[in-house]
Chains A and B, each alone.
Chain A
Amino acid sequence: MSQYIIDSDFSITSIGSVLLVHLNEAIDDDSIKRLLDALALAIVQSASKGVIIDLSNMEVIDSYLASKLTTIASVASLLRAKAIISGLKTPTVITLLEFGIKISRVEFALDVDHALEKLM
C-alpha cells in the first residue's frame, strides 16, 4: 500500500489496482475541484480499474458535494474505472433523503472491505 497523493483536505491511496479516496470532514468546494483533477490523473497513471470514495467520516453531504460525487463517477467510468462510495452513516442517508439530494450513477458499499469485494 502506498500513498499516492496527500492534500490538506483529501488523500488518494493506491491499493493494487484500486484507488482509495479519503475526504476530510471539512473539505471545501475548491479542494473538491482539486481532488477531481488529481483523481483523474491518478486513474490514468496507475491504470486503476476502481475508485473507492470512503465517506465514513462525513457527517453531512450537501448538494454540491453530491453533484461532484456524480461527476467523479462519470469521469472514472470514462477512464474505465468503477467508482464506489462506501461508509455512509444512517443519519447522513436520512438527511440526503429528507432534502431530496440524489447521488445517481454511483454504486455504494457498506465499507471499504465490501467495496474492494465488489471491485475484485
Chain B
Amino acid sequence: MGKIKDFDQDPFLDQVINAVPSGIFVIDTDNNILMVNKAAAEMVGKSPGECFDRKCWEVFKTPMCNTEECTCKRAIESNSTIRGLSVMYRDGKEIPIEYAARPLKNFEGNIIGCVEHFIDISERLEKERIIVKQQEELLKKREEDIRHLQEEILELSTPVIEVWDGVLALPLVGTLDSHRARLATERLLEAIERTRSPFVIIDITGVPTVDEEVANHILQTVDAARLMGSKAILTGISPHIARTMAQLGVDMRNIIVQGRMSDALHLALSEFVKQSSSQDTFKKIVD
C-alpha cells in the first residue's frame, strides 16, 4: 500500500484491500499511481512496491492506456462509473479483463483521482466458449436428427405394395406437396418397371384435403402410370374430396375410379380373367 495524501492510513483497511482477489489501484489526476493492491501487481508480475510513483500506463498496459479512451480519464471527466471489457498485455500475452473505474473525491467533494478495479476473466470466457460450442453441437445434432426423421417420414409415407401378381397399390397418406408427389411417382414407376404390373391402385383414403395443386399431382401420377403402360385405378375418394374436386373442375374423364381398394382389386382381377379366360385358376380366385 502506498500513501494517499488527504486520507488517514488504516492498517485494517490495508489488509482488507490487499486480501481482495481482484486488482485495485488508485491514481491521481496526473495518472501517478497512489496505491495498488497485491492482486493488481500480481496480474502484471510485479510486487506492489515496484508500482508506486509511476504512471499507471507504464505498469498496466491495455489498448486504451495513455489515449483519449483512458478509463480513468473518462470517469473523471464524466464524474461517473465507467465499466467495460478489454485485454491487458503481459509478457506478450493478452489477458482478457473486466474493469470498472470511479472518480475519487476528497472530503470537500473535489475529484482528486480515480479508483480502478479489474478482474481476469480468461476462465470465464473459456467457460462461455465451451458452453457456446456445446450449444452449437447440440443444435447441429438436433438439426441432423430432424433431417433424418423427415427423410424417414418421406420414406415411410410412399410405399409401393404388390397386393397381387400384376397389381400394385400406392396408398397416399398425409398432405401431398410437390416433393412428395414426385417421389411417390418415381417410386411407382420404378415398381411398375420392375414388376411389369398392368394395374396400379392409387388410394387416397389417407389424404385429408385436396386443393388444385394436390389434385394435379394425383392426376400426374395417374398419367405417369398410363405412359408406362399400366392402368391406374383411383380409390378412397372421400365425399369431402369428391366435392372439392368437382368444384375445382378437375378433369377425371380418363381416370378409372373405384370406391374402396378392394373394389379396385376386384376390377383388376376380373380384367385378368377376361384376358386369360382359358385359365380357370383366376376364376377360382375371384369367385
* Contacts A90-B186, A94-B186, A97-B220; A108 near B192 (Cβ below 8 A): no
A90 touches B196 (CB 8 A): no
A96 touches B196 (CB 8 A): no
Question: Which residues of A102-120 have CB atoms within 8 Å of chain B's CB atoms?
Answer: 103, 108-111, 114-115, 117
B37: CB under 8 A from chain A? no
B275: CB under 8 A from chain A? yes
Q: Is the interface on chain B under 10, 10 to 19, 20 to 34, or 35 or more residues?
A: 10 to 19
Residues on B with beta carbons closer than 8 Å to the beta carbon of A85: 229
Question: Which residues of B247-278 have CB atoms within 8 Å of chain A's CB atoms?
Answer: 275
B228: CB under 8 A from chain A? yes
Give chain B's interface secondary structure class. Answer: helix
Q: In the complex, what's the smallest C-beta–C-beta distance from A113 to chain B, in angstroms?
A: 8
User: What's the Cα separation between A49 and B75 when bound, in Å?
Assistant: 104
B227 touches A103 (CB 8 A): yes
User: What's the Cα separation between A94 and B223 when bound, in Å?
Assistant: 11
A89: CB under 8 A from chain B? yes
B196 touches A93 (CB 8 A): no
B189: CB under 8 A from chain A? yes
Question: Which residues of B200-237 have CB atoms within 8 Å of chain A's CB atoms?
Answer: 220, 223-224, 226-230
Closest B residue by C-beta to A92? B227
Residues on A with beta carbons closer than 8 Å to the beta carbon of B185: 94, 97
Task: Select one of B223, B229, B275 contacting A111, CB under 8 A.
Answer: B229
Residues on B with beta carbons closer than 8 Å to the beta carbon of A117: 275
* Contacts A110-B196, A114-B196, A117-B275; A94 near B224 (Cβ below 8 A): yes
A114 touches B227 (CB 8 A): no
B198: CB under 8 A from chain A? yes
- Report, nearest first, the 6 A-B pairs whose CB atoms are least far apart: A109-B229, A110-B229, A90-B189, A108-B229, A93-B227, A110-B196
Binding site for A on B (CB under 8 A): 185-186, 189-190, 192-193, 196-198, 220, 223-224, 226-230, 275
A–B Cβ pairs within 8 angstroms, 26 of them: A85-B229, A86-B229, A87-B229, A88-B227, A88-B228, A89-B193, A90-B186, A90-B190, A90-B193, A90-B228, A93-B224, A93-B227, A94-B189, A94-B224, A96-B227, A97-B220, A97-B223, A108-B226, A108-B230, A109-B229, A110-B192, A110-B196, A110-B197, A110-B228, A111-B196, A114-B196
Binding site for B on A (CB under 8 A): 85-90, 93-94, 96-97, 103, 108-111, 114-115, 117
